[in-house]
Amino acid sequence: MTIQILMPALSPTMTEGNLAKWLKKEGDAVKSGDVIAEIETDKATMEVEAADEGRLGKILVQAGTQGVAVNTPIAVLLEEGEDDSALAKAAAPAPAPAAAPAAAPAPAASASAAAPAPQAAAAPAPAAQGGGRVFASPLARRLAEQAGLDLKAVKGTGPNGRIVKADIEAAKAGGTAKAAAPQAAAPAPAAVPAAAPAAAAPAPKAAGIDAKDLSDKLGMRYKAQPNSSMRKTISRRLTEVQQTVPDYFLAIDCELDALLKVRSDLNARSKDYKLSVNDFIIRAAALTLKKFPNINAAWSEEAILRYDHVDISVAVATPTGLITPIVKKAETKGLAEISNEMKGLAERARDGKLKPEEYQGGTFSISNLGMYGIREFAAIINPPQACIMAVGAGEQRPVVKNGALAIATVMTVSVTVDHRVADGAQGAEFLAAFKKLIEDPLSMLL
């Protein structure tokens, strides 16, 4: 039985992606878990694993194809013993029918969604679905039938709870699945040609002046750089924020001299870490947010969501655009742990190797442009978060201390806050509390 490999959904919000590269070629043997392709999403390039075993019979979507819709057939896998003549019988995947008392005819080919490369461990979902449907690979079904196992009693560990070969072998070894009830054989339907991937609908033009149309009319010369999926996503999300989120802006100056001394002393104590000023900023923000749950929050029409943990999204510039990897449960982590974790996240971000769970979500964002000498700027909120912090450069400025003029290293920090979630006074109290921690860094170590 041929198996169609489908374009996988690598995140809950993914609707399409670019097929960047095939790592297997037609005729190659494929095992469950083998990395077969690389898919470019709107934020990263992800490795994709096969969920079934066999031989890669035909590639339907070539490398470099953009805008491939989720669940589009991208390749056909031949099971053991099948030859290329079976490719002509490969059927296009159809939507799953509603459950009915009578058994439906088995299709000539089944669809197999490719699985993303291993991510954060999750508890396997039960294989049985509503209406009595069971999601299992063709190989797993055949092995279960040979072993007399009831697939409804087997828990799947494949993508979205799909039952794979390893689950059947585990059930056989553990004796946990009861014998399957015999089923009457159903006739196979006539074969139909494999469906070609549907072309993505052109995106509607944004309102306002179209730069390309105007440049063409005026005869202006230019080099067109096609927009990447990431750039399109950034454009869409930021436009949405500017149109829908009523925000306000606050700024405060923080003296850094005490922090810089503590940082220098701590870095001299160990070679296991190298603390940056940004690590102190993340730590101070996390501790302050725990005291201000109305800032560590998000707006919904039904309620304001106040999050139990502080997951800080930190803006990282990459060759393809901005991405915000997340330091999760930052309020529970010390400076050294934050520093080492952030270095790993930033490196994977620049290499395009972040997993979706490493950049999706977050409860608060930090954007630091201080390394470019920027004194102060207003950042745009990262939806659905309620607040983003913008950090400027630390620089020597004149200050007044005890009635006398002095020089101090000063950093301007600002926040952009969703007014629906927190009023101006709450934003000001949060920023003042953050400043207190920055100027008394030893209190972060307690």
Enzyme catalytic residues? 419
Residue labelled with tokens 């009831």: 150
> Both tokens of residue 169?
């072998």
**Neighbouring-strand partners of residue 193:** none
Residue labelled with tokens 């196992």: 149
Cα 441 from chain centroid (whole Å): 33
CA distances from 171 to 100, 151, 174 (A): 28, 10, 5
Give yes or no for a contact between 284 and 310, defined as CB atoms under 8 angstroms apart.
Answer: no
Helix (H, G, I), strand (E, B) or coil at 205: coil
Give yes or no for a contact between 142 and 116, defined as CB atoms under 8 angstroms apart.
Answer: no
* Angstrom distance (rounded) from CA 298 to CA 420: 9
**Which DSSP string corresponds to 128-187?**
B-GGG-B-B-HHHHHHHHHHTB-GGGSB--SGGG-B-HHHHHHHHHHT-SPBPPP----P
Amino acid at position 387, single letter: C
